[in-house]
């Protein structure tokens, strides 16, 4: 299956979209925070991103879901900065502390092509929302030089539908979080209001664009939506509400990555209710809620997945 962005590239539509997205940087409204800062003039909003790309790591990554990592690895590009402030963020050195280095659009295009040459199954954009204009420009360059891998949009799920619509036909695979079932936890643990509203609207738009997953003969995903849900201690993620929404408002065929890898890291120690690993009983309850909601497709994790082994190494960023 040919990635849809190649058709847009040939028609000139990819270039047009990249130009529209770049204009948004002059009064940034790429995510629901709508900071309105002029990033083209050096201003920075909540995510602390300016005009230039900032990237923490580019490498083959084997820690994603099986149809994304496969046997050769996912071509992961980790972007610095984030629109959320999760107290338990496993990528906090890059998401909260800004670790990484500036990279030009030309360098990003070259990185995509290098990952393809190394055998990556896809190009995996990790936390890309605040750099979408620059990514689109780099994709245009890379597509013109032979890039032909599926493009994965790996995000925290706090997205603007207006921005997502500009990505229609550019992104092949959406891999968003469905972090919370209620806003109380979202405010307390991720510092964001109305996460549930924006997340649900985003998931619906993503599914409208790409539908349920399509896999090739080797089982690798070529197109579609996969929703990640990290189970939190004490039921604080509101898992049943997330699952009910997915089954009723997206599709009972929705593929879900139900994660047990929660690790009390970063600022989680400041929240007694989060300052411990997940228990077997808590994860089993989430599995039961998943089934009770009418969902069946996806992946689960063993509790052994918790701990620092799941955390990418950014020491060389």
Per-residue pLDDT of the chain (317 residues; tens, 9 = 90+): 899 999 999 999 999 999 999 999 999 999 999 999 999 999 999 999 999 999 999 999 999 999 999 999 999 999 999 999 999 999 999 999 999 999 999 999 999 999 999 999 999 999 999 999 999 999 999 999 999 999 999 999 999 999 999 999 999 999 999 999 999 999 999 999 999 999 999 999 999 999 999 999 999 999 999 999 999 999 999 999 999 999 999 999 999 999 999 999 999 999 999 999 999 999 999 999 999 999 999 999 988 766 555 566 666 54
The reply to whether 177 falls in a domain is yes
**Where in the sequence is the domain holding 200, given as residue range(s)?**
4-31+54-310
CB atoms within 10 A of CB 208: 14
The reply to whether 139 falls in a domain is yes
Give the three-state DSSP class for 80.
coil
293, 292, 310: which is closest to 301 by C-alpha? 310
Euclidean distance between CA atoms 175 and 245, whole angstroms: 17
270 exposed, middle or buried (CB, 10 Å; 0-12, 13-18, 19+)?
exposed
Q: Domain count of the chain?
A: 1
Euclidean distance between CA atoms 206 and 230, whole angstroms: 19
The reply to whether 45 falls in a domain is no
The reply to whether 47 falls in a domain is no
3-39 in b/e burial notation, b at 16+ Cβ within 10 A?
bbbeebbeeeebeebbeebbebbeebbbbbbebebeb
The reply to whether 38 falls in a domain is no
Report CA-CA distances (Å) from 30 to 67, 133, 187: 29, 9, 20
Task: Supply the CATH number for residue 160's domain.
Answer: 3.20.20.70
The reply to whether 295 falls in a domain is yes
CB atoms within 10 A of CB 204: 16
* pTM of the predicted model as reported, rounded to 2 decimal places: 0.96
* Strands 297-300 vs 255-259: parallel, antiparallel or unpaired: parallel
Euclidean distance between CA atoms 182 and 91, whole angstroms: 23
The reply to whether 117 falls in a domain is yes
Longest dimension (CA), the chain: 55
CB 132 within 8 A of CB 167: yes
The reply to whether 24 falls in a domain is yes
Euclidean distance between CA atoms 117 and 147, whole angstroms: 9
CA count, 13 A, side-chain hemisphere, 96: 15
Structure tokens at 104: 């030009």
């Amino acid at each position: 299956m040919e990635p849809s962005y190649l058709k847009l590239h040939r028609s000139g539509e990819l270039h047009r979209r990249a130009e529209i997205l770049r204009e948004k940087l002059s009064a940034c409204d790429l995510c629901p925070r709508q900071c309105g800062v002029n990033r083209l003039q050096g201003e920075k909003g909540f995510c602390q991103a300016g005009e230039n790309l900032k990237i923490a790591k580019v490498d083959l990554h084997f820690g994603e879901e099986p149809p994304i990592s496969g046997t050769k690895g996912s071509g992961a590009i980790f972007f610095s900065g984030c629109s959320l402030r999760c107290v338990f963020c496993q990528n906090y050195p890059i998401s909260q502390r800004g670790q990484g280095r500036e990279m030009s659009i030309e360098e990003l295009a070259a990185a995509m092509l290098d990952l393809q040459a190394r055998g990556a199954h896809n190009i995996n954009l990790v936390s890309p929302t605040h750099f979408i204009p620059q990514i689109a420009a780099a994709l245009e360059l890379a597509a013109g030089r032979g890039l032909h891998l599926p493009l994965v949009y790996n995000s925290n799920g706090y997205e603007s539908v207006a921005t997502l619509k500009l990505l229609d036909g550019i992104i092949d695979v959406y891999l968003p979080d469905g972090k919370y079932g209620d806003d109380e936890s979202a405010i307390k643990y991720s510092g964001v209001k109305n996460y549930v509203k924006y997340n649900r609207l985003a998931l619906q738009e993503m599914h409208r664009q790409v539908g349920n997953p399509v896999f090739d003969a080797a089982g690798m995903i070529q197109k579609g939506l996969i929703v990640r849900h990290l189970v939190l201690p004490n039921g604080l993620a509101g898992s049943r509400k997330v699952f009910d929404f997915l089954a009723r408002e997206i599709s009972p065929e929705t593929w879900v990555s139900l994660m047990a890898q929660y690790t009390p890291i970063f600022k989680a120690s400041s929240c007694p209710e989060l300052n411990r690993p997940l228990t077997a009983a808590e994860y089993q309850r989430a599995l039961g809620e998943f089934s009770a909601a009418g969902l069946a497709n996806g992946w689960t994790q063993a509790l052994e997945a918790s701990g620092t082994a799941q955390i990418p190494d950014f020491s060389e960023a």
